[in-house]
Amino acid sequence: MKKIIFLFAFASFLQVKANNIQVNNISLENLNEVSNWVNVEFDLFWENSWRISSGPSNWDAAWVFMKYRVNNGTWTHAILSQANSTPAAGATMEVTSDGIGALIYRDADGSGNVNFLDNQIRWNFGSTDTNDIIDIQVFAVEMVYVPEGSFYVGGTTGDEANKFHSGGFSTASSFHIQSENALTIANTSGNLYYTATNARGGDQTGTLSASYPKGFNAFYAMKYETTESQWLGFFNSLTETQKTNRDITDTAHKNSDAVVNRNTISWTGGSASATTTAPDRPVSFVNVADINAYMDWTGLRPLSELEYEKACRGPILPKPGEFAWGSSNIASNDYTIVNSGFSSERVTNPETNSGNAMYSLTDGTINGPLRNGIFAASAVNNNREETGGSYYGIMELSGNLYERCVTVGTAQGRSFTGLHGNGIIGSTSGNGTVSNWPNSTTGDGYSFRGGSWLNGAEYIRISDRYDGASVISGGNNRLGFRGARTAP
């Protein structure tokens, strides 16, 4: 009877859906009352999945993590284990060594929608009274694997601001990153350097330690910018005090519960849950403290700006004026959209034989970011230019909302060591707690890469570092973010 009561106590679950990645049919199996663990079983579905052994030689994946609460208390991060965990047929499952989450992806080449049934991940729940009521949430975020290997940054004949180049050579000479070894920033042969045509480029000095993620080692990056629904999954799990500090509708953020520049998040305060009417749209108006808290809570980390350039162009030599889709061609006509706010939102007039992106010349009267993956769904021809995809299949790295990436241009940014979040944020503040991340108060440590819906084409190019070391702590209508995770 004890076992039946205990299992029944876990009967409350939440289904998670974000940009059509879905966790369904959650149950608990194989309870081990002696060692205090149980398998969380679930189905995992998402669209447009792939694994390929040639070219980019990569795949997409789901980052899966869990939260639980006891007797309606505070939500806590669940610690997972590879032992006794079993992936679905056709899937590979890697539970990280810290137990914070798991990466699930195809075990063989293929493309199209996936529906991985009956995944089981071991949850080490610890000591629990058998009469406790325990709720559990299972979250999933779409990621893309960027394999280990050398690549180039900056250094083109274009006029990108503050771009990287090889020290001691002209600004047209790309710098070749061939390892994760320490790098010196100096204008001498063998070193990484960058122009600084304005004060926002950086201090042009310092050393990147071997721990600073340079992009040579394999990593995962979020396939899309963080969505409004993903933000709400985080926000609605916080305490009331934490919510007050992370409220992006307050005067320090968008200052409204109404729709502002297509941000639809609303929160009436207190114990109420925040809501959105555009769940697949990237979240804007987030400040540095918000970003750090979200990534700490998910077990992810920020991208470095070197990783950003690799995520865009892969191992291919940089081209002048290129965008994330690998050419300098870009659409220039005002877009028209249908089904605004829905997962079926699409552009009715995408350009052909040119790169599609949301920026100042295509924004028209839209005045805000488009839903994630919209160009892949709208393109006439399924190629990199028309879908706006990067070399590895990561979307909207040029335009839509700015990417926040850890800079090499300030001492605070250079102190970044690539630590991941541990699922735990400040007990009352709602702040992230990871060492050597960009400063939540001053904003020092982040760069702004890839431009936004409001910027001109010059700001959304891969090598552009106009704001390569800008110190901005607040949030506004152009700023979004995505997280990363060093590959296991």
Say yes or no to pLDDT of 5 above 70.
no
Q: Any idea which residue has 């071997």 for tokens?
A: 210
CA separation for the pair 96, 298 (Å, rounded): 13
Q: Which pLDDT value is given to residue 152?
A: 98
pLDDT range class, residue 156, cuts 50, 70, 90: confident
How many helical (H) and strand (E) elements, i.e. helices and strands, does the chain have?
A: 9, 24
Say yes or no to pLDDT of 1 above 60.
no
pTM for the model: 0.96
pLDDT in tens, 87-132: 999 999 999 999 999 999 999 999 999 999 999 999 998 876 667 8
Say yes or no to pLDDT of 483 above 60.
yes
Say yes or no to pLDDT of 19 above 60.
yes
What is the domain partition of the chain in residue ranges? 2-145, 147-488
pLDDT in tens, 316-365: 999 999 999 999 999 999 999 999 999 999 999 999 999 999 999 999 99
pLDDT range class, residue 161, cuts 50, 70, 90: very high
pLDDT range class, residue 426, cuts 50, 70, 90: confident
The CATH code that applies to domain 147-488 is: 3.90.1580
**Could you tell me if 153 and 318 are in contact, meaning their C-beta atoms sit under 8 angstroms apart?**
yes
CA separation for the pair 482, 19 (Å, rounded): 14
What b/e sequence results for 256-274 when a residue is b if at least 16 CB atoms lie within 10 Å of its CB, and e otherwise? ebeebbbbbbebeeeeeeb
Q: Which pLDDT value is given to residue 129?
A: 64
Average pLDDT, the chain: 94
Q: Which pLDDT value is given to residue 130?
A: 60
pLDDT above 90: percentage of residues in the chain: 89
What integer is the mean pLDDT of 121-144?
88
